[in-house]
């Protein structure tokens, strides 16, 4: 009888995939560095330094039904989102983070051999989810200033009739730049579905969701991870044209968004004044940081409409070296060594005191 060979059971395309490199858990790092968790300044994953709203914390502490399955249709949350976005609830599909919504869409539309169009440098999960769903990834790189190369995208769509989804991110991660609405409107004329990822929309006051009602090929992606401080609970959602939303229910697993995530997201929408105040604080800290960082003459930041700043490291220093030196002091930032952004750091915006500690440490490097 032939023996079982574990390596032979994997899909060959999955075996060849480079996994997404998530940031290390900060409590593990704190232990490694011998620094107490509360002294760690975590600026490596664009989380909200103020955390969830007090209302969310109260709701979670008192939640009486963890033993009951969640509502698969997340009715209360989708109704609240409908009011928040000015879009009927039928258009909204909830996921365990925006990441899951990206995966669900690709599971719905990709036949083996289809393709997606990606515009790097941008969020790294699009090509990973695409390849997992057996889609080819066609890269149309952004220009040096990170703006979209619109004619090249149009050409790529014309040349690749099997390209099904174009991923566009605004504000873009990792540089924080926004794509003008006129560009989106122009690209919406193409015969391709556009997933317009607005994970950071609340930091630039953008709401493209109502446009979904006018365009059969537009999907808007949102999350509670960034502005609402719920990254750990995993709650994202998409706003879909009605025919696509209907089909999404077929790929959504019933209990993908857990009860606490749904309750927390709902409580966040009921505490908008508090949360929008923290968003304003983050924006103010970002603008202050962009001013103050000019004192570090070897660090060159790009303008940002989001809760992070991308900066090019110069002056004979390496991004890795700077990242490691900061890490030794308990300050975590993101570096892009393996990608086309070699020599850049992405710095999340923390509280004013976090940014001061970062600047003081940078000044001493
Ligand atoms: C552009 C962009 N889209 C989507 C996500 C996914 O967010 P989540 O899965 O936490 O909702 C992120 C997270 O970093 C992001 O930067």
Sign of CA dihedral 281, 175, 236, 333: negative
| Cβ of residue 98 lying under 6 Å from some atom of ligand 1 | yes
| Cβ of residue 174 lying under 6 Å from some atom of ligand 1 | no
The token pair at 70 is 């969640």
Which of 118, 199, 346 for a ligand 1 pocket mutation test, highest count of atoms within 8 Å of Cβ?
199
Give the number of the atom of ligand 1 that is nearest the alpha carbon of residue 45. 14
Distance CA 268, CA 226 (A): 12
At residue 338, the pLDDT reads 62
At residue 143, the pLDDT reads 95
Identify whether residues 212 and 125 lie together within a single domain.
Answer: yes
Quote the domain boundaries for residue 72: 65-270
Yes or no: say if 328 and 322 are a contact pair by the CB < 8 Å rule: no
Q: Before 301, cis peptide (omega within 30)?
A: no
Find the 221 Cα to ligand 1 centroid distance in Å: 9
Identify whether residues 308 and 213 lie together within a single domain.
Answer: no
Identify whether residues 264 and 278 lie together within a single domain.
Answer: no
List, run by run, the mean pLDDT of 10-residue segments along the chain (365 residues). 89 81 82 90 96 98 97 98 97 98 98 96 95 96 96 98 98 97 98 98 93 98 98 98 98 98 98 98 98 97 98 95 95 83 95 98 95
Identify whether residues 329 and 296 lie together within a single domain.
Answer: yes
Yes or no: say if 260 and 268 are a contact pair by the CB < 8 Å rule: no
DSSP-based three-state secondary structure for 223: strand
Write down which residue in 250, 270, 290 finishes a domain. 270
On the CB side of 276, CA atoms within 13 Å amount to 10
Find the 98 Cα to ligand 1 centroid distance in Å: 6
At residue 109, the pLDDT reads 98
At residue 14, the pLDDT reads 83
pLDDT, tens only, 280-336:
999 999 999 999 999 999 999 999 999 999 999 999 999 999 999 999 999 999 998
CATH number, domain of 32, equals 3.90.1150.10
Count of residues making up the chain: 365
DSSP-based three-state secondary structure for 220: strand
Identify whether residues 330 and 281 lie together within a single domain.
Answer: yes
Write down which residue in 240, 270, 300 finishes a domain. 270
Identify whether residues 181 and 128 lie together within a single domain.
Answer: yes
On the CB side of 355, CA atoms within 13 Å amount to 23
| Cβ of residue 157 lying under 6 Å from some atom of ligand 1 | no
Find the 60 Cα to ligand 1 centroid distance in Å: 23
Identify whether residues 97 and 20 lie together within a single domain.
Answer: no
Alpha-helical segments (H) within 226-335? 242-251, 259-269, 272-292, 319-328
Displacement of CA 228 from its chain's centroid (Å): 13
Identify whether residues 152 and 18 lie together within a single domain.
Answer: no
Distance CA 285, CA 353 (A): 9
Is residue 360 a part of any domain in this protein?
Answer: yes
Nearest to 304 by CA among 124, 142, 149, 178: 178
Identify whether residues 175 and 142 lie together within a single domain.
Answer: yes
Distance CA 216, CA 103 (A): 20
Is residue 60 a part of any domain in this protein?
Answer: no
DSSP-based three-state secondary structure for 5: coil
Identify whether residues 196 and 318 lie together within a single domain.
Answer: no
Displacement of CA 214 from its chain's centroid (Å): 25
Identify whether residues 110 and 195 lie together within a single domain.
Answer: yes
Sign of CA dihedral 268, 271, 276, 281: negative
| Cβ of residue 307 lying under 6 Å from some atom of ligand 1 | no
Yes or no: say if 159 and 166 are a contact pair by the CB < 8 Å rule: no
| Cβ of residue 173 lying under 6 Å from some atom of ligand 1 | yes
Write down which residue in 270, 287, 314 finishes a domain. 270
């Amino acid at each position: 009888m032939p023996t079982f060979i574990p390596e032979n059971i994997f899909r060959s395309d999955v075996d060849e995939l480079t996994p997404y490199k998530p940031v290390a858990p900060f409590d593990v790092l704190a232990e490694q560095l011998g620094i107490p968790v509360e002294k760690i300044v975590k600026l490596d994953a664009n989380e909200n330094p103020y955390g969830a709203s007090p209302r969310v914390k109260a709701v979670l502490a008192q939640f009486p039904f963890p033993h009951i399955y969640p509502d698969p249709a997340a009715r209360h949350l989708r109704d609240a989102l409908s009011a928040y976005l000015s879009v009927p609830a039928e258009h909204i599909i909830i996921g365990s983070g925006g990441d899951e919504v990206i995966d669900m869409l690709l599971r719905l539309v990709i036949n083996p051999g289809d393709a997606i169009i990606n515009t790097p440098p941008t969020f790294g999960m699009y090509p990973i989810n695409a390849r997992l769903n057996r889609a080819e990834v066609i890269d149309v790189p952004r220009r040096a200033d990170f703006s979209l190369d619109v004619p090249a995208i149009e050409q790529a769509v014309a040349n690749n009739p099997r390209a099904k989804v174009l991923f566009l991110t605004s504000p873009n991660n990792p540089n924080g730049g926004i794509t003008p609405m006129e560009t989106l409107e122009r690209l919406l004329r193409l015969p391709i579905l556009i997933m317009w990822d607005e994970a950071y929309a609340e930091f630039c006051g953008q709401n493209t969701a109502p446009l979904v009602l006018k365009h059969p090929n537009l999907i808007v992606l949102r999350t509670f991870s960034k502005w609402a401080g719920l990254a750990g609970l995993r709650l994202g959602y998409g706003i879909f044209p009605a025919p696509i939303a209907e089909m999404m229910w077929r790929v959504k697993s019933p209990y993908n968004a857990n009860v606490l995530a749904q309750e927390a997201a709902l409580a966040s929408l009921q505490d908008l004044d508090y949360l929008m105040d923290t968003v304003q604080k983050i924006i103010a800290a970002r603008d202050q940081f962009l001013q103050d960082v000019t004192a570090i003459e070897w660090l060159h930041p790009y303008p940002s409409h989001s809760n992070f700043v991308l900066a090019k490291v110069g002056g004979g220093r390496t991004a890795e070296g700077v990242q490691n030196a900061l890490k030794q002091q308990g300050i975590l930032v993101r570096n892009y060594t393996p990608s086309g952004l070699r020599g850049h750091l992405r710095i999340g915006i923390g509280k004013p005191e976090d940014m001061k500690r970062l600047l003081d440490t940078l000044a001493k490097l």
